[in-house]
Amino acid sequence: MDLARFLNQHSYAIAAAIALAWVGNEVIRRGATVRSLIVFAALALVVALPPLWLRSGQHELVQLDAALASGNPTLLEVYSDL
């Protein structure tokens, strides 16, 4: 996999890691207080939960791959509850 494709596919994770590292560095540099640790933990949750919530199930991908590989015409319907 080339670098551009890797960055395209993982841009959210890279940006989230940079943001958490920056905030974590600031927490350590300024001295960890209860309030700063709570803010850091809240940021970690806000960054980590959306990809887990939006991820599709693995069984759906297996069914899609099987339908596409069958050789028959396949209608693909895409929708979002959001």
- pTM reported for the whole predicted model: 0.59
Look at residue 1 in the predicted model and tell me its pLDDT. 65
Q: Which of 38-47, 48-57, 66-75 has the highest mean pLDDT?
A: 38-47
**Residue 10 CB partners (closer than 8 Å, separation 6+):** none
- pLDDT higher than threshold 80 for residue 58: no
Task: Compute the distance between CA of residue 63 and CA of residue 77 in angstroms, rounded to an integer.
Answer: 13
> Mean pLDDT throughout 11-32?
92
Q: Are 40 and 27 in contact (CB under 8 A)?
A: yes
- Give the residue from 55, 52, 49, 47 showing the smallest Cα distance to 14: 47
Which of 12-16, 41-45, 47-51, 60-64 is the least confident region? Answer: 60-64
